[in-house]
Amino acid sequence: MQNCLNDFRMTLGGKSYAPLMLGGMGVNISNDNLVLAVEKLGGMAHLSDALLMDVSDRQFGTNYSAQKTRCYKSLIGNPDKSDMKFDLAHVEQATKRYIEDVMSRASGNGLVLLNCMEKLTMNDSLATLKTRLNAALDAGIGGITLSAGLHLSSFKLMADNKRFHDAMLGTIVSSSRALNLFLRKAAAVGRMPDYIVVEGPLAGGHLGFGPDWAEHKLENIVTDVKNFLAEKNLDIPVVAAGGIFTGGDAVRFVRDIGAAGVQVATRFTIAKECAIPDPVKQIYLNANPEDVEVNMFSPTGYPMRMLKSSPAITSEIRPACETYGYILNHGECSYVKEWYARQGDASLPHGKCCICSHMRNYKLWTCGTTVSRLKETTVRLPDGTWHLPSAEDIFNDYMFSTGDDVRVSKPE
């Protein structure tokens, strides 16, 4: 009987990996250090391409965001943002620089992937997405996982890239219905995904469900997707994501339900290497179940799980689209609309947040439903704060623990 996750391997592109995937966490939460730590241990780990121009400015001292702000200064105070465009050469340079840097430091033991959110429409979804995807391939990324959206044309946007057939390409879905639509489009360009991440309703970030999210169960969706693939005679590895907290949970998905691997994220938000500021990690660690909610504050239109105390929820800052503007779609963003309307009539409802600014500043505390269990994985220090585990501690707990055990991380 195989009892721990380390008894399994996941094969992708002819190479075998630990069946543990670190999910993409934007903006710059699953950062270079966290991803490289997991990759070194033989796992698969996602960078995120959210707000990469800003991430590049902070990491490499470039000034893409300042240049963009200067260019669109005249739109500050104007609710119509339709003329605001991203400089595609800058998007390409920022993506390449960031990914080339990470890839130059990868050990080769594991796989570095990029999580690409379609909902970052960047006011010109096809052109910006095409640039982001192809720049990532050109920079040598191990693979790309398409997320947050249906991505029906994304394979086509990469079809002329020389790495289109050798990089690993996957997608995240929350139902076999969405997968069916995706696969039809993939068939049209003669390229099936190399893996499929099935994300259930307990995940962090945006959820691919409607208001009935709580009625769905990851186990059932994974089984349904596997049956769907079998009917179509497709042998594509399925990775289960959302609410997988222990090595034992992971084993149940791989051994009993037939997933090829699991994707996890919430456990790694408190890792030493993770870019979330340490005081926010302490807030995650102190969270109780009643502190978490799924709400509609994200202007993407998708439900999102977050801590109720996230500053983003109550904040009403001026939209910074001239600097960021990643959610704009034909000049519109529901937060921008709300903000300008409330300048005229403060009695109008407040129900959206400025996701670009707040995710960038780590003020929107998104998390999976298991955030309230993080305290089971570590110890309190004499000063009352929690010890922060290393990515290796968390990785090894997933890989080697059996049953419902958790290896508690302790200071050395």
Ligand X SMILES: Cc1cc2nc3c(=O)[nH]c(=O)nc-3n(C[C@H](O)[C@H](O)[C@H](O)COP(=O)(O)O)c2cc1C
Alpha-carbon distance 46 to 30, whole Å?
A: 7
Least distance to ligand X from the beta carbon of 205, Å?
A: 3
Least distance to ligand X from the beta carbon of 103, Å?
A: 20
Nearer to ligand X, 172 or 183 (CB): 172
Least distance to ligand X from the beta carbon of 336, Å?
A: 21
Nearer to ligand X, 91 or 239 (CB): 239
Q: Are the C-beta atoms of residues 94 and 53 closer than 8 Å to each other? A: yes
The token pair at 57 is: 């400015």
Least distance to ligand X from the beta carbon of 293, Å?
A: 14
The token pair at 147 is: 């997320």
Nearer to ligand X, 194 or 331 (CB): 194
Nearer to ligand X, 24 or 142 (CB): 24
Alpha-carbon distance 176 to 236, whole Å?
A: 13
Least distance to ligand X from the beta carbon of 233, Å?
A: 28
Nearer to ligand X, 72 or 300 (CB): 300
Q: How far is CA 169 from the centre of its chain?
A: 15
Q: 210: which residues sit within 8 A by CB, 6+ positions away?
A: 303
Q: Are the C-beta atoms of residues 186 and 192 closer than 8 Å to each other? A: yes
Residues that bind ligand X (CB under 6 A): 23-26, 29, 48, 50, 115, 117, 147-148, 172, 199, 202-205, 241-244, 263-266, 269, 366-368, 370
Nearer to ligand X, 38 or 75 (CB): 38
In the complex, which residue's CB is closest to ligand X?
23
DSSP 275-332: SS-HHHHHHHHH--GGGEEEES-STTSS-EEEETT-HHHH--PPP-TTT--TT-BTTB
Least distance to ligand X from the beta carbon of 412, Å?
A: 26
Alpha-carbon distance 406 to 395, whole Å?
A: 11
SS3 content of the chain, % helix, strand, coil (to 5): 40, 15, 45
Nearer to ligand X, 50 or 75 (CB): 50
Q: 48: which residues sit within 8 A by CB, 6+ positions away?
A: 24, 25, 26, 27, 28, 29, 30, 114, 115, 117
Nearer to ligand X, 242 or 303 (CB): 242
Least distance to ligand X from the beta carbon of 207, Å?
A: 9
Least distance to ligand X from the beta carbon of 30, Å?
A: 7
Alpha-carbon distance 307 to 164, whole Å?
A: 39
Give bridge partners of residue 241 from the DSSP assignment. 199, 263
Least distance to ligand X from the beta carbon of 158, Å?
A: 18
Which residue is associated with the tokens 């200071």? 411
Nearer to ligand X, 106 or 271 (CB): 271
Q: How far is CA 131 from the centre of its chain?
A: 19
